[in-house]
Amino acid sequence: MRNEPRMIVIADDITGAAEIAGIAHSHGNQVRLICSNSVDDSGAADDDSVAANNILVIATDTRSMTEAEAIAETCRVASFLKAISSHRHILFFKKTDSALRGHVVAELATLMEAIGCRRTVYLPANPSKGRIIRAGTYFIKGVPLHETDFNFDPEFPAKTAVLRERFPDAEEKGIIMPDAENEEALHSAIQEYNDGQTLFAGAADLFTALLSLTSQENKLHHGACQSSNSQGAKTAVPPQASTLILCGSTQSKPLGLGIPVCEMPQAVYDGKKGADEWYAALKVHPNLLTALILTIPYHYRNGKEVAVYLRTVMAGMASHLVARRVPDHLIIEGGATAWATLQELGWTQFEVVQQTAPGVVLMRAKCGTFVTLKPGSYPWGNMFR
């Protein structure tokens, strides 16, 4: 008899999904990550995606969609959730951005209705990273959210740090937004509202607290807690692997790895030329088939159309390079860039191998290539040491 998933996580971007998958794996779970477009309109998915895994993580790209598109995609994914949870108890978790980005209220309200929850506890705080909620205001290491670089986010600029101002219709939709200044506050919120009718939604620290509780109370691991998969252990990536690194986030910082860096030409950034022209100028590079970093050195354009354009160009470049030679290891920084790239490549199902640092997760695609994903605002940890 196959081992059905005990928990299903729905994330609004793929790096957030990978972060959750990495945490679950580090706690000893068997975890598979799938992209929502591998679920068809009837709710069907590859049987291997749900078999033999304690936790299934479904990555969507709803944060990059319009609100109407995000609602429609959430409804579509919900048909899959209903199909696989109709005859068994499954705990659901909605992963949202820890900097309040995305169509949060619209997606939560849609998901609550679909799975029959009467309320949501929304806790995007990550106290372990200095991201807390105090008196209804969100702080990152003591600085109000709207005074950080997230104020310049091209799609969801942080114009306020007050949750009720950012989400004015949350309470009327049944969404509770408690304070959380430490880990104990997260555990207290779960214990207070864990009644079987509440959807929990938020960032990685809330998921970790929920995972710990369900492992103990609901015997998530078949009545025995498995040993943790050690974070930072030696990876399965070959030591002489060919590597392609895509730095597509507005939060990207220079890596200084001694690997050739190819910056997006200004004419491409400005939209005067496309990925084909960038690749044509690059393809004579002597290290093209071994190691390469693609970056975007300019940041003076913003807005949704620009963000979509830039990630589309990066995905196009990745497609050109992978067509020339499939790398042993593909590393992508930035959720929207990761989604666009993996969709362009047709890679939609992954086995989680290791969490190399918080939010930095190594997976294996069906084609055999190792894929590491990282949110743009997170540090690399010991990834390159």
pLDDT computed for residue 47 by the predictor: 47
Average pLDDT over residues 148-162: 91
Q: Determine the Cα–Cα distance for residues 299 and 304; give it in Å rounded to an integer.
A: 13
Confidence category of residue 119, pLDDT binned at 50, 70, 90? very high
State the pairing for strand pair 137-140/143-144: antiparallel
Q: Determine the Cα–Cα distance for residues 275 and 102; give it in Å rounded to an integer.
A: 28
- pLDDT tens-digit map of 253-275: 778 888 888 899 999 999 999 99
pLDDT at 221 > cutoff 60: no
pLDDT computed for residue 220 by the predictor: 44
pLDDT at 234 > cutoff 70: no
CB 19 within 8 A of CB 31: no
CB 252 within 8 A of CB 333: yes
pLDDT at 139 > cutoff 90: yes
Average pLDDT over residues 58-87: 88
- pLDDT tens-digit map of 285-340: 655 658 899 999 998 888 888 989 999 999 999 999 999 889 999 999 998 899 99
User: Residue 230 carries which DSSP code?
Assistant: P
pLDDT computed for residue 259 by the predictor: 85
Residue-wise burial string across 189-203, b where 16 or more C-beta atoms lie within 10 A, e elsewhere = bbeebbeeebbbbbb
pLDDT computed for residue 222 by the predictor: 47
As given in the structure block, the two tokens for residue 349 are 């199902």
Run of H or E residues at 140: strand 137-140
- pLDDT tens-digit map of 83-100: 776 656 788 999 999 999
Instruction: Name, in order, each residue with C-beta under 8 angstroms of 344's C-beta and a sequence gap of 6 or more.
Output: 315, 316, 318, 319
Average pLDDT over residues 36-55: 61
pLDDT at 229 > cutoff 90: no
pLDDT at 40 > cutoff 70: no
Average pLDDT over residues 175-195: 95
- 183-187, 280-284, 361-365: least confidently modelled range: 280-284
Average pLDDT over residues 43-54: 53
pLDDT at 230 > cutoff 60: no
